[in-house]
Amino acid sequence: MLIKQVFAKYWMRLSLTLLLILLEALLVILFPLYIGKAIDGVMNNELVFLWQLCALGLLLTVTGAGRRLLDSRFYAGIYTKVSRAAIKKMKLQDDSVKTARLNMLAEVVEFAENQLPAIIQHSIGLIVVALIILFLNLKIFMAAILCGSLVLCIYFLSSKRTLRLNSEFNNELENQVNTIQQKQESALHRHLLKLMRWNIRLSDLETLNFSGSWLIMLVLLVISIHIAATGENIQYGALMALIMYVYQFIESMVSLPLFYQQWLRLSEISERIRNN
């Protein structure tokens, strides 16, 4: 694929982005730990962890802002190069298809710039947080693994339908310029209705999957609070940190499948452009 070739050419620049993403993920993971320590420290008239928490927040701000400033310029250049190469490859296609696929390419680059870092951070966070929960409480860890597996099953079972709906949506999108050029209000109306019909179906499927996943994760949160709060000899700050780690796990577990749905859409776009 064209975009893979461009990324391969600029692997050093992408390596810097990946390094900053990993650093961000690590800093985010440390927050619940230092919040818990800061709470216990303040209650014992010790402010060292509170100041460390402030330093952690400032470092995260600088790292995140720096990465985003660099990435916005880098991916703008990527889109320009990929789009020019794609137009040359699609020289036999009509303008409607070319216009639609340029917009689709913009989605791919936007995904790489904004969604891919979040996927990496959530994936790393999910693994590390799960290990932290395992260390802190085995019962909560087992409940987290069970609930997480159920969420993955929901999205796996709906993947074929997601691909089909995205294919139908993109088929209709490729007709948009031709439809507009006809200058027939009835044809444009039918086109927009079809486009929105596929968009609504995609949205409905996403809503159904998200709602089911969130309900499962809500059960995990309630169970975790009950198990943690009824444990023996646990400090308030440590309890707070444990529940925050559980919530981080829930946040990642709910977010990653949504990224998976987006990845399915982009894989359909990639296949469409590759086959010209």
Does the pLDDT at position 118 exceed 80? no
Taking residues 130-154, report their average pLDDT. 89
User: Looking at the 3D structure of the chain, how many domains does it have?
Assistant: 1
Q: How confident is the model at residue 159 (pLDDT cuts 50, 70, 90)?
A: confident
| Residue 227: partners with Cβ closer than 8 Å, 6 or more residues away | 137, 139, 140, 143
- Which tens digit of pLDDT belongs to each residue from 226-264? 888 776 666 676 777 788 888 888 888 887 777 777 777
- Which tens digit of pLDDT belongs to each residue from 49-90? 788 888 888 998 888 888 888 877 777 777 677 666 666 666
SS3 annotation, 145-162: HHHHHHHHHHHHHCHHHH
pTM for this structure?
0.65
Instruction: Phi first, then psi: give them for residue 230, nearest 5 degrees.
Output: -95, 5
Helix (H) or strand (E) holding 230: none
- The number of C-alpha atoms within 13 Å of 166 and in the hemisphere containing its C-beta is 20
State the average pLDDT for the chain.
78
Task: Give the range of the structural domain holding residue 123, as residue numbers without chain letter.
Answer: 2-274
Taking residues 137-159, report their average pLDDT. 89
Separation CA 273–CA 100 (nearest Å)? 11
Percentage of the chain surpassing pLDDT 90?
5
Helix (H) or strand (E) holding 245: helix 236-274
The domain spanning residue 80 has which CATH number? 1.20.1560.10
- At 253 the pLDDT is 84
Q: What is the DSSP string of 16-82?
A: HHHHHHHHHHHHHHHHHHHHHHHHHHHHTT--HHHHHHHHHHHHHHHHHHHHHHHHHHHHHHHHHHH
- Which of 57, 237, 240, 217 has its CA nearest to residue 145? 217
Q: Are 62 and 158 in contact (CB under 8 A)?
A: no
Separation CA 70–CA 62 (nearest Å)? 12
* Highest-pLDDT range among 22-36, 73-87, 111-125: 22-36
Q: Which residue has the higher pLDDT, 128 or 232?
A: 128
- Which of 22, 1, 249, 21 has its CA nearest to residue 149? 249
Alpha helices in 92-184 (DSSP H): 95-110, 116-136, 138-157, 159-173, 176-182
Residues in the chain: 276
Q: Take residue 186 and report the two structure tokens written for it.
A: 């009835």
Distances (CA, A) of 26 to 32, 70, 194, 210, 272: 12, 20, 44, 26, 37
Instruction: For Cα atoms 15, 74, 112, give the angle at the middle one, nearest 5 degrees.
Output: 70
Does the pLDDT at position 1 exceed 50? no
Q: Which residue has the higher pLDDT, 152 or 79?
A: 152
Separation CA 75–CA 3 (nearest Å)? 11
Q: Which residue has the higher pLDDT, 1 or 116?
A: 116
Taking residues 150-174, report their average pLDDT. 83
Comparing 37-41, 123-127, 183-187, the range with the smallest average pLDDT is 183-187
Does the pLDDT at position 145 exceed 90? yes
- Which tens digit of pLDDT belongs to each residue from 175-206? 766 676 667 777 767 777 877 888 788 888 88
Separation CA 144–CA 130 (nearest Å)? 8
Q: Distance of alpha carbon 12 from its chain centroid, rounded?
A: 23
